[in-house]
Amino acid sequence: MDAIESLGYIPSQTARIFKSGKSYILGLVISQSHISHIMFNAGFQAQFKALTEKAHKEGYNILLITSAEGDSESYFEVIKNQVADGFIIFSPSHNDGLTSLLEEAEIPYVFNMKYSDKPEDHYYVSSDDVEGGFIAGKYLLDLNHTDIRFLVGNVKGGYLPFNADRIKGFKKALDMYHVPFREEMIVKVQGQMNESYNGIHMLFQTERPTALMISNEITTVAALNYFTDNGYRVPRDVSVIGFGPSEFFRSLRPNLTNVSYDISWASAKLVDLLLQRIEGKPVTIEMPKKPELIIRDSTARNMAR
Amino acid sequence: MDAIESLGYIPSQTARIFKSGKSYILGLVISQSHISHIMFNAGFQAQFKALTEKAHKEGYNILLITSAEGDSESYFEVIKNQVADGFIIFSPSHNDGLTSLLEEAEIPYVFNMKYSDKPEDHYYVSSDDVEGGFIAGKYLLDLNHTDIRFLVGNVKGGYLPFNADRIKGFKKALDMYHVPFREEMIVKVQGQMNESYNGIHMLFQTERPTALMISNEITTVAALNYFTDNGYRVPRDVSVIGFGPSEFFRSLRPNLTNVSYDISWASAKLVDLLLQRIEGKPVTIEMPKKPELIIRDSTARNMAR
DNA sequence: CTGTTAGCGCCTTCAA
DNA sequence: TTGAAGGCGCTAACAG
């Protein structure tokens, strides 16, 4: 003990990890190109914060692993060359092949969200996005809106499963009120500020919907800015519903009506899920928590007809 | 090679690190309580993104290390138990003792910003904050404002060195125009949304400054929201200058006049500095880049007197 | 209860 | 050119 003190001996963590095979590191894998899109989104910030907090609580730290490319091979390449007990994967798209590569290599992993509809890929904690789309749509229909647009993220011309689910819920609501669904109700928009702004500009050049559902926080801010810049009043001229952390939407003016779910709960569950996989325990699949509609000041009854 | 392929052999990264003594990991140390305050600030997001990108470019990944407490001992405890080639330290306050502990243990580190005025602690990349405070103050004085308030972050009743520098620059501008400095011109405000909002509310209960300089992005948003909620028009009733990434201030309405500096350059330099220390090379101290005043729509000539 | 040692998996050095 | 072995620093197992 004297010697430790006087020599300033510090045990080598590297050797400890080497010997024990445990690093108490959770890798968060994200593609380099994706990181900018994600870093400025309120939902990701909340998820990231919650992930970090939960990991800390469980004695883990988060290693941010950046992959140059977003495809399965690059992801796998980067993952297998990393020291971590398990991986949380933020995928820019569907990444079909990745799961089998990881399974084969027996690397524990989870996804930050639903990327696939295959039941065997159930290594994520979902919110009930069908329900989310449904309650948003239903609320607008209740307010007498029928000319609704749902703005979703454009990923290589398509959209991610969680948006597919929200759309499904939206259609369900339309069905319930016997309002026919039209393809142009779904508007694919890039998630960054300028691209979103331009997308909304394009939309309002030719059309004049009375209500918007917006699946991305940055796009939501872009929309509000567009309305401010062009003299549209929210909610008098357009009603707007956002999807994401309720906290964030309270910092906007007007305070936004939004569909929100408990991201800090979901993030904690996701870490639990990963830790279970790391320890080789049987995995308990969580029922998705129902999202909630928080009604604030950006939605109003449609008086147009 | 056949065997590698057929057995699915993956070299152990842990063993490699153990053997080589290089992990290609950069630890980013942050206190648990601080993380929420920081995660939602546009400046940090930009810095974090830039750090990640630069690290990736240099072949490193970022390990997010969370310390429960923010004091020097806790930081050191957590740092020494981590596998990383060097550390980037986000300190919640001054952390006097930390540098000597790290020096003694010969652990390479840099700070994300200036925490100390001691020249021997020059392991950070600074912006020229004196200049930043000066150009903001001068511009407002040029616009005939004299009743200016500078809102800075409240850290245990005081403020951090970069804010002290900005205040110094502000005073310099006042001096130049022979406007006497008054203590109440400096307003210490908590950096979170609600606390900021309340702080601004308190300020405007008793006073009616014609211009605000705001050192924190969230506080800036809170101020704009307060003005919206209470019928103050920006810039007609109050002029506002923000400090932070210009990009961010362009997403606000009105577009904000702001003092901005090249955070992605600074972050890259910071990583370079850390890598130099890791490699034991002599350290090149960068001259701070001059911040720039970006004039937009939130500042107007004071007509009051 | 204290003290010694084997071995984790890699890489570099040295020998054949 | 190919092959064998030592040692990084720790910890767990085992011997005294």
Per-window interface: A 227-246 vs B, CB < 8 A = 228-229
Same structural domain for residues A149 and A254?
A: yes
Q: Is the peptide bond before B180 cis (omega within 30 degrees of 0)?
A: no
What's the pLDDT band for B93 if we cut at 50, 70, 90? confident
Residues of A in contact with B228 (CB under 8 A): 253
**What is the average pLDDT across A144-159?**
95
Query: Is the Cβ–Cβ distance between B50 and B267 less than 8 Å?
Result: yes
Distance CA B31, CA A146 (A): 49
What's the pLDDT band for A187 if we cut at 50, 70, 90? very high
Contact status of B198 with chain A (Cβ, < 8 Å)? no
Same structural domain for residues A182 and A228?
A: yes
Distance CA A55, CA A274 (A): 10
**Does residue A301 lie within any of the structural domains?**
no
- Residue A104 to residue B55, Cβ atoms within 8 A: no
Structure-model confidence comparison of residues A119 and A210, the more confident one: A210
Tell me the torsion sign for CA atoms B56, B58, B60, B64: negative
Per-window interface: A 122-141 vs B, CB < 8 A = none
Look at residue A92 in the predicted model and tell me its pLDDT: 77
B6-49 tens-digit pLDDT: 888 999 999 999 999 999 999 999 999 888 888 899 999 999 99
Average pLDDT of chain A to the nearest whole number: 94
Same structural domain for residues A73 and A136?
A: no
Residues of A in contact with B194 (CB under 8 A): none
Q: Give me the helix-helix angle, A161-176 and A129-142, nearest 10°.
A: 40
**Interface test with chain A among B4, B7, B14, by most A beta carbons within 10 Å:** B14
What's the pLDDT band for A8 if we cut at 50, 70, 90? confident
Q: Is the pLDDT of residue B305 over 60?
A: no
Q: Is the CB of B22 under 7 A from strand C?
A: no
**Does residue B302 lie within any of the structural domains?**
no
- Residue B19: nearest nucleotide (C-alpha to C1'): D8
Query: Is the Cβ–Cβ distance between A127 and A265 less than 8 Å?
Result: no
**Residues 37-76 of A, Cβ under 7 A from nucleic strand C:** none
Q: Is the CB of A177 under 7 A from strand C?
A: no
Q: Is the pLDDT of residue A145 over 90?
A: yes
**Interface test with chain B among A45, A78, A83, by most B beta carbons within 10 Å:** A83
What's the pLDDT band for A58 if we cut at 50, 70, 90? very high
Phi first, then psi: what are they for B240, rounded to 5°? Answer: -135, 130
Distance CA B250, CA B245 (A): 9
**Does residue A175 lie within any of the structural domains?**
yes
Q: Is the pLDDT of residue A101 over 70?
A: yes
Same structural domain for residues B62 and B175?
A: no
CATH of the domain at A156: 3.40.50.2300
- Residue A83 to residue B52, Cβ atoms within 8 A: no
**What is the average pLDDT across A102-122?**
87
B245-268 tens-digit pLDDT: 999 999 999 999 999 999 999 999
Structure token digits, residue A50? 């919650």
Look at residue A60 in the predicted model and tell me its pLDDT: 97
Q: Is the pLDDT of residue B304 over 70?
A: no
Contact status of A193 with chain B (Cβ, < 8 Å)? yes
- Residue A49 to residue B62, Cβ atoms within 8 A: no
- Residue A65 to residue B68, Cβ atoms within 8 A: no
Same structural domain for residues A254 and A268?
A: no
Contact status of B4 with chain A (Cβ, < 8 Å)? no
Average pLDDT of chain B to the nearest whole number: 94
**Does residue A298 lie within any of the structural domains?**
no
- Residue A104 to residue B8, Cβ atoms within 8 A: yes
Same structural domain for residues A186 and A216?
A: yes
Same structural domain for residues B17 and B107?
A: yes
Q: Is the CB of B3 under 7 A from strand C?
A: no
Pair type for strands A148-153 and A211-214: parallel
**Does residue A161 lie within any of the structural domains?**
yes
**Does residue A289 lie within any of the structural domains?**
no
**What is the average pLDDT across B210-220?**
97
**What is the average pLDDT across A147-156?**
95
- Residue A228 to residue B253, Cβ atoms within 8 A: yes
- Residue B18 to residue A15, Cβ atoms within 8 A: yes
Q: What is the largest CA-CA distance in chain B?
A: 85
Q: Is the pLDDT of residue B2 over 80?
A: no
Listed as ranges, the nucleotides of chain D within 7 A of a protein C-beta are: 7-12
Q: From start to end of B22-95, where are the E strands?
A: 25-31, 61-67, 86-89
**Does residue A285 lie within any of the structural domains?**
no
**Residue B39: which of A45, A66, A81 has the nearest Cβ?**
A45
Look at residue A4 in the predicted model and tell me its pLDDT: 80
Q: Is the pLDDT of residue B3 over 80?
A: no
Same structural domain for residues A55 and A109?
A: yes
Q: Is the CB of A80 under 7 A from strand C?
A: no
Same structural domain for residues B135 and B193?
A: yes
Q: Stated in angstroms, how far is B78 CA from D7 C1'?
A: 28
Same structural domain for residues B258 and B134?
A: yes
Q: Is the pLDDT of residue A195 over 60?
A: yes
- Residue A253 to residue B61, Cβ atoms within 8 A: no
Which residues, in sequence order, are bridge partners of residue B66? B30
A224-245 tens-digit pLDDT: 999 999 999 999 999 999 999 9
Residue ranges making up the domain that contains A175:
129-262
**Does residue B288 lie within any of the structural domains?**
no
Q: Stated in angstroms, how far is A60 CA from C13 C1'?
A: 38
Q: Stated in angstroms, how far is A304 CA from C5 C1'?
A: 86
Of the candidates A215, A182, A181, A176, which has an alpha carbon nearest to the alpha carbon of residue A199? A215
Contact status of B13 with chain A (Cβ, < 8 Å)? yes
Same structural domain for residues A77 and A149?
A: no
Look at residue A115 in the predicted model and tell me its pLDDT: 85
Contact status of A56 with chain B (Cβ, < 8 Å)? yes
Residues with CB under 7 A from strand D: A 11-12, 15-16, 18-20; B 18-19
- Count of the separate structural domains present in chain A: 2
Contacts of residue A35, Cβ cutoff 8 Å, sequence gap at least 6: A66, B49, B52, B53
Same structural domain for residues A246 and A269?
A: no
pTM for this model (two decimals)? 0.94
What's the pLDDT band for A20 if we cut at 50, 70, 90? very high
Look at residue A305 in the predicted model and tell me its pLDDT: 52
A253-276 tens-digit pLDDT: 999 999 999 999 999 999 999 999
